[in-house]
Every structure is written in C-alpha cells, then in structure tokens.
Structure 1
Amino acid sequence: MWKMKFGLGIHPNALAYSMTTLGAGMMNSIFNFYYVKLFLNQYKISEVAFHQAQVVFMIWNAINDPLFGYIQDNSKVPCCSRRQFSILYGAPLYALAFLLPWFPWKHYQEGDWLNGLHLIVALCAFDGLLTFVLLAQCALFAEISTRHEIRLQLIKYNQVATLVGSTSILFCGLISDNMENFAYFQTFTVLVAGLATACMCYTGLYSTSQYEQRETPVENTSLETNDKALSWSSVISLTKQIMTQKNFILFVTMNFFQVFHLAFCNNFMMIFADNLIPRDVLSSFIRSIIYGAGFICPQLSELYTHTLLKKFGYYRIILFSFYLEGIAAFVMLVLGKEHYYLLAIYLTTNMVIVQASFSLFNLPLADIVDADFIKHKKISPLSSMVFGTNALFTKPAQSLAPMLVVTILNQFGYENLNNKLSPPDPSGSSDPYPFPPGQGPSPKVLPGLHDAMFYLICLVPLCIAVIQILTWTPFSIQNSHMTPV
C-alpha cells in the first residue's frame, strides 16, 4: 500500500494525511496569533472577562481531548470510530468555528460583558472542533505504519504542508496591514476557512491506515465486550495503563512547558514587538515579514534537518533545541532591550525553535502508543486515547500562558495603555507618551512596562528550557530510529 506512488514520486497516502495539516495550519496560525490582540485591543475586553474566558477554556480544553479520544477509540458510530470520517465530517464545522472570533456580535464598548461571552464561545468551539479533527489525524499518524522510516516520511510531508499553511500569517499581515484594515482581515479569514475545509476533506476521502480492517473484528465481538469497552471502569483501566508508563509521564511534563512556551510566543510576539521595537526601526511591511517568518522558518528548518532526524533521532534534536533556547535567552538578557535588531532576531528565532521542536512531538507519542500496544497486548492501538490523555495534562497551558502574561502586563499599566491611543514609541521620540495631561500611564510607568515585557521574553524561555532539559533527559526511548520493527 505504502510503496504505491504517483508519477512524480509522491506517496498518495502521505499526501492525503498531510492535507489536514495544511488546512489546520492555515487556520491555527491565524487564530493563535491574532485572537489575544483582537480581544484586548479592538474588542476592549476587561482583564476579569479575559481571565473568566480563559478559565472556562482551560477546563473545556483539558477534558475534551481524553473524552474525544475515548469516543474515537471505542465508538461504533463510523463518524467517530473511523479516523478518516472524523476528519471528513468535522472539517466544515472546524472551519466555521475558526471564523467565530473575527466577526463581533455587536459594536463592543469598554467593559461590555458580551465580548467576554464571545471569547468563551469562540475559544471552546474552535478548540472542540480542532480536537475532534486533529486527534483523529494524530491517531492516523500512529496507525498508518509502525516503521520509523515511514513515520519520518509522514513528518517530512507534514513539514511541507505546515510550511505552506503557515504562510497564511505572512499573507494575512500583508493584506490586512497586520489587522489594521479589519475588513480585509475578515475577508482573508473567510477565504482561508474555505481552503482549509477542502484540504481536510481530501484527507477524509483518500487516506488509509494499516488498521483499516480493525472494524470487522470489533463489530463481530459480543455485545458484552462492547458494553465493557464503553464502561467507566474500562476508561479508568485504560487511562491507568497509559499513565503508568514512565516515558509518558516524562513526555507530558516536558510537553506541558512546551505548550506554555508556544502559547506565550504565538499570543504575545506581536504585542511585544509593537511595544519594544520602534516603528521607525521596523516598518509595518518588515514586521509582517518577521511575523510570517516565525511560522514559516520552523518548517524550513525541519526539512533541512530531515537527514539529522534519520541519523540522530528525535530525542537528541529535541534536547539540543532546549539548550539552544536557554542559551539564546541568556545572551539576550545580558545584552539588554536597546539592541532593537537583535531583539527582533531573538523574538523570531525563539519562536522558530519552539515551533520546530514541537512539530516533532508526534514521534515520541507514536513510540509511546507502540509501547503501550505491545506491553498490554491489545488488538489495536489506543492511539486517540494516548494523544488525548497527553492533551488532558498539557492543554491547560494554552490558557495559563495568556492569563499569567496579561496579569503581569496589567500590573505595569498595559491595560491603561491599551484603552487609550497607540502604543508608545520606545525609541524615545519627541512625543513618546501620546496621552493628554492627566490621562493614561505616567512616563514612569511606561519604562516599567517595557522592562517587564523584556524580562518576560528572556526569563520565561530561560526557565522553561532548564525545566525541559531536566525532564526530557531521562526519557528512555532514545534510539527508536535505529530499531527495526
């Protein structure tokens, strides 16, 4: 099945698998990069409403992954049990959920309660459909083949798809002038939603896995077996089997901080750059290029290091990325925030490293799926449950990161700054504090805000890198790239 190729040497199954990555990449990049700034700066959401939305999102974000994972691994309904059908039927709803934040329900005023409800609905709907579709795709990754070289082939196709999908940030920034022209921004998101739906439907129609025949024995089992599979005791037993793996615990701990770091970069890179780097140093066009590079370059780097993955394996490359993040953060901290061009390079490089290493995480999770499958002698691997249980513990970091950062920034006057005119020019121009007398933050507060932002972008990556090195080093599946299956 796998060796069949198109005339140009393209693996049809890898192509079909990666099309979901292409569609999801276009939407996820835009959603994560713009939603925080949109609700804080344009919809004028209050800090309380923002935190309330993030808490609701954190709870839903944590429980929906293991819930959907268990349903997809045990349901008898084809749209849930078949990975391809989950993607096919979930794709249009996923695209509609992506459009929710970009169209306000009314003209929001400062302190309006409706923008808080809007954020809750947008976050929960988008993540719910994202989970349903991408959990099926993650399971498909583990089930297409257990051979390492084939999984590397999938990673390679995935990187190309993510590379193309991540250009949505670049084009969105250029077309909408970094969301300044909101009508153009909205039009672009509708176009992206349509293209993403078509891409994901291609996966649903044309991808296959080596466990395609698994539905037959499952359907022929007795009703008693099916009832047992759907019982709460079975859920607890299967989850316990997964969570007692030492490698799973180490991976989840490391991944929690990676998700936190990724959310930190995605949600606040534009805010930090706008406030710390003067507009006369970097024009709007250059900023769009930089923001796009933060999403495009990770895929380029992964394609470039594909041979290194074959030679050294994902374990050593991921570990090296943690050391690189820590060293870069320490050097930037020593140099200081006045080196604007170096700061722009650092922000982009940090985002590239975090994105690039995170894109490899399906490989260790797939190895954990294989280990669980062999150890407990299962009929078929519980791929969705493994990926879902991982998400149960790591997804809350997506909410904790913006909550923590917004709280810290507001302590230094960001909320007052945001509710007035444009951000101050950190270059020290003739009018660096564009507020009428008696309004807005005082000149003493703004340098404090800039210092807080600078220390955040240095100390957060540095601390996370140290923690990840300590938790990832004991991970024992280090040479799966050299082990024949």
Structure 2
Amino acid sequence: FVLGIHPNALAYSMTTLGAGMMNSIFNFYYVKLFLNRYKISEVAFHQAQVIFMIWNAINDPLFGYIQDNSKFACCSRRQFSILYGAPLYALAFLLPWFPWKHYEEGDWLSGLHLIVALCAFDGLLTFVLLAQCALFAEISTRHESRLQLIKYNQVATLIGSTSILFCGLISDNMENFAHFQAFTVLVAALATACMCYTGKYSISQYEQREVCTENTHLENSDGALSWSSVISLTKQIMTDKNFLFFVTMNFFQVFHLAFCNNFMMIFADNLIPNDVFSSSIRSIMYGAGFICPQVGSYTFLFQNMKTYCSDFIMKVYIRTMNTLNIFFSRVIVQASFSLFNLPLADIVDADLIKHKRRSPLSSMVFGTNALFTKPAQSLAPMLVVTILNQFGYENLNN
C-alpha cells in the first residue's frame, strides 16, 4: 500500500480505464457515423449486424476455453493476454473512424467496413476484457477484496467515461471530423498504456498454477484442445440454476444498454431543437450520461431494484420532458449494469467448489454468459433502425 492505494486493485482497474475510454466512444458514435456520414443502406447495416451477432456470440466461449486451457502463456496468463492484446485492441478501435474511400450513399464498401470494424473491435475487446474478468475472479475469493476491486473499477470507469465529454467538446459532436479522428488516436494511445500497466503489475492468487490441468480426463493425452472438452465443460456451467437465472436477466440488461448507448445521440439530435441546447451543452449532456452512472453505482452499490423502480417512475411522470427522459434513462441503465462482475464471480467460485476443480474456469463462465447475452448488442440496433426507418428517419437523414 502506498498512500492508502492498493497496488493490485489499481493495476486491475487500469484496464477498465483504458477500455472505458475506447468503448464509450465506439458504442456512442459508430451507429450515427455509418448511418449519417457513411450513408450505409439499411440492408447492409442489418447484414453487418447479423454477421457481428454470430461472431459476437461465438468468440466469447471460444476465447474463454482457449484462455483457460491453452499451453501458450500469452493466452493462459491473464496478464499476458491483456499486455499483448492491448495494442491490437487499440488499433481495432481506430478502424471505423478512417473511411476506406469517399462513400457514396448505399456504397457496398461501407457495409464491408462496418463488418470488419465491428468484428475486429469485438474480437480484441473480448480477448482482453475476458482475461480481465477472469482476473477479477482470481485475484481473491474474499468478498471484501472483490468489493474493493469494484470500487477501484468504478473510479476508473468514471474517469474513462469522460472521453465522451471531451470528444464532444473537441470535435463539436463529430461535426469537426478531423478533430474527432485526432482525438480517437490520442485515446487509443492512452488506453494502450493503461492496459499494459495491468499486464505488467497485476497479480493473481493462481499465479503459480500449471496450465491445462483442469479436467485432464476430458482432454487428449497430448493436452490438445478438443470439442468434447468444450462441450463437457460448457454443459457443466450451463446446468447451474443460478447461472441460468443470471444469463436471462443479463440478456435484457445488455439489450437495454446497447439501445441507450447507440441511439442517445440520434434521439437527442432529433427530439431536442438546436435553439434549446447549443453543441457544447449537448456535449456536456452526453458526457454526463456516461459519467453520472458511475457515481450512482459507486454510491448505491446494493440498490439495483431501486434504480429500476426510479426508471419506471421517471418515464411515467416526465414522458413529455425529452431531455430529462433521455438523460435519466441512460444514467439508470448504466448504473445498474455496473455491478455485472460481482454475481458472476460468485458463480465462478460456486462452480470451482461444486466440481472440485484445481483452478477456476473464470474465462469460460464469463464467455458462456456472453454466448447468450452478446447477441442483444446486435438485436437492439437492428430493431431500432428498422423502426426508425419505418417512420421516415432514413429520408429525414437524407
């Protein structure tokens, strides 16, 4: 401890800081970028989202199995996965912001660009953050230690979410595209440095474990990965009643969060007149929509149900107040979602005890959860874009 700072918790939270800066900008801007600036067609947008949905679902359990069972240190060691994956993750983040050419309306290349950007970004995000999620479960099994990690995590998320605020102010909410591109390059560099810090300085309580010792009777004698091992281990995870309940709830959380992230800016631009809010005020509102949830989830750590009740009441009584409705919907959804790691880490512990494992299947548990919840990230924008275009958004945009 130095000045009351826990070095391991600090190192762990640095990946949250770096990923938070990139993920906030990516999720907030990519839909509007491709719809409004690159003029992607609705068909191409849906095709890209379907391909992304398939890849998004399968890469989590795939990477989870590899990280839990691989012989290579860059995969089996959580810290090395973060350290080596961070630069590639940052490069993938930059893909959508630099067009491959000047796109005409409905250009097929903009559809291909979206597919590559989504799949590359999600693939590297999964590889890095799955290792971090596993590290959360493996740093300590003590509930108090995990609460400490969450507190550090929330501070890191709070700082990382300010990237939306500064990005909006610097780029005039993406109107000055050159400034926007320069800011994303700066964010990518800072995020890489933050995540590399985790890779260098975080420590797990399973630091000395041997790789690939889990369920050796399910693996080939040469230790090679096999589909029978994947199926057997996944079946054990999926038969847990608590895991199934959590997955069901988490699917709707992910759907709701993707809806708020992807369309907050589009709704605000069309529902709030320009003479009501200037561009700088809008930037502050967008930034606050990402910053305030972190304050809320840090302060009210065990009050999830209250946030949903508040959300319901707010929507009933301020339906006509577009600004407050958009803002508070975003804040409340994100605040409740911030506690995602805690119950899933408890499920990892229960699985470890139930099946008498020598080391936890942390990545596989988080990856199997993502197998069923990640498709919501594609279903939300597909459904909303379809509804918007049915009511003339595509013509309004043109």
Would you say same fold, with TM above 0.5?
Answer: yes
Determine the structure 2 residue equivalent to 1:366: 345
Matched, 1:77 2:72: yes
Contact 1:228–1:234 under 8 Å retained in 2:
no
Contact 2:318–2:324 under 8 Å retained in 1:
no
Determine the structure 1 residue equivalent to 2:311: 325
Pick the aligned partner of 1:300 from 288, 295, 303. 295
Please list the CA deviations of residues 187-236 of structure 1 after superposition, one character each: whole Å capped at 9, or x if unmatched: 000000000000000000000011111127849x8996665672222211
* Alignment-mate amino acid for residue 372 of structure 2: F
Determine the structure 1 residue equivalent to 2:36: 41
Matched, 1:269 2:264: yes
* 3-state SS of paired residue (1:381): coil
Query: CA–CA distance in 2 between the matches of 1:217 and 1:300?
Result: 40
Larger CA deviation: 321-330 vs 261-270: 321-330
Determine the structure 2 residue equivalent to 1:446: none
Query: CA–CA distance in 2 between the matches of 1:258 and 1:235?
Result: 27
Matched, 1:348 2:334: no
What stretches of structure 2 of length at least 5 have no aligned partner? none
Pick the aligned partner of 1:180 from 172, 175, 184. 175
Query: CA–CA distance in 1 between the matches of 2:211 and 2:275?
Result: 65
Pick the aligned partner of 1:10 from 5, 9, 31. 5
Matched, 1:197 2:192: yes
Query: CA–CA distance in 1 between the matches of 2:171 and 2:262?
Result: 18
Contact 1:369–1:381 under 8 Å retained in 2:
yes
* 3-state SS of paired residue (1:212): coil
Query: CA–CA distance in 1 between the matches of 2:221 and 2:201?
Result: 29
Please list the CA deviations of residues 271-309 of structure 1 after superposition, one character each: whole Å capped at 9, or x if unmatched: 10111111111111111000000111111122323xxx4
Query: CA–CA distance in 2 between the matches of 1:90 and 1:40?
Result: 30
Query: CA–CA distance in 2 between the matches of 1:40 and 1:387?
Result: 32
* Alignment-mate amino acid for residue 341 of structure 2: N
Query: CA–CA distance in 2 between the matches of 1:368 and 1:321?
Result: 24
What is the TM-score with the length of structure 2 in the denominator?
Answer: 0.97
Determine the structure 2 residue equivalent to 1:143: 138
Written as runs of structure 1 = structure 2, the 5 A alignment for 1:94-173 is: 94-173=89-168
Written as runs of structure 1 = structure 2, the 5 A alignment for 1:214-363 is: 214-215=209-210, 218=213, 227=222, 230-305=225-300, 309=301, 314=302, 317-333=303-319, 336=320, 342-363=321-342
| Length, aligned pairs only | 397
Query: CA–CA distance in 1 between the matches of 2:212 and 2:229?
Result: 19
Q: CA deviation at 1:154?
A: 0.3
Determine the structure 1 residue equivalent to 2:84: 89
* Alignment-mate amino acid for residue 238 of structure 1: L
Query: CA–CA distance in 2 between the matches of 1:399 and 1:379?
Result: 36
Query: CA–CA distance in 2 between the matches of 1:222 and 1:249?
Result: 26
Determine the structure 2 residue equivalent to 1:22: 17
Query: CA–CA distance in 2 between the matches of 1:319 and 1:405?
Result: 26
The 1:227/1:396 distance shift into structure 2, 3 A limit, reads farther
Contact 2:85–2:124 under 8 Å retained in 1:
yes
* 3-state SS of paired residue (1:215): coil
Please list the CA deviations of residues 171-192 of structure 1 after superposition, one character each: whole Å capped at 9, or x if unmatched: 0000000000000000000000
* 3-state SS of paired residue (2:318): helix
Q: CA deviation at 1:349?
A: 1.3
* Alignment-mate amino acid for residue 291 of structure 2: I
Query: CA–CA distance in 1 between the matches of 2:25 and 2:331?
Result: 16
Q: CA deviation at 1:328?
A: 2.0
* Alignment-mate amino acid for residue 255 of structure 1: N
Matched, 1:378 2:340: no
Larger CA deviation: 180-189 vs 234-243: 234-243
Query: CA–CA distance in 1 between the matches of 2:219 and 2:299?
Result: 51
Contact 1:58–1:396 under 8 Å retained in 2:
yes
The 1:178/1:216 distance shift into structure 2, 3 A limit, reads closer
* 3-state SS of paired residue (1:214): coil
Determine the structure 2 residue equivalent to 1:424: none
Contact 2:63–2:367 under 8 Å retained in 1:
yes
Query: CA–CA distance in 2 between the matches of 1:352 and 1:222?
Result: 47
Larger CA deviation: 279-288 vs 197-206: 279-288
Determine the structure 1 residue equivalent to 2:371: 392
Query: CA–CA distance in 2 between the matches of 1:53 and 1:26?
Result: 24
Runs of 4+ aligned structure 1 residues displaced above 3 Å come to 216-219, 221-229
Query: CA–CA distance in 2 between the matches of 1:402 and 1:65?
Result: 20
What is the TM-score with the length of structure 1 in the denominator?
Answer: 0.80
Contact 1:53–1:119 under 8 Å retained in 2:
yes
Written as runs of structure 1 = structure 2, the 5 A alignment for 1:57-72 is: 57-72=52-67
Query: CA–CA distance in 2 between the matches of 1:198 and 1:288?
Result: 26
Q: Which has the larger radius of gyration?
A: 1
User: Quick one: percent identity of the two aligned structures?
Assistant: 83
Q: CA deviation at 1:320?
A: 2.5
The 1:168/1:217 distance shift into structure 2, 3 A limit, reads closer
Matched, 1:408 2:382: no
What stretches of structure 1 of length at least 5 have no aligned partner? 337-341, 420-485
Structure scoring higher RCO (CA < 8 A, sep ≥ 6) equals 2
Query: CA–CA distance in 2 between the matches of 1:251 and 1:224?
Result: 29
Query: CA–CA distance in 2 between the matches of 1:360 and 1:222?
Result: 35
The alignment's C-alpha RMSD in Å is 1.6
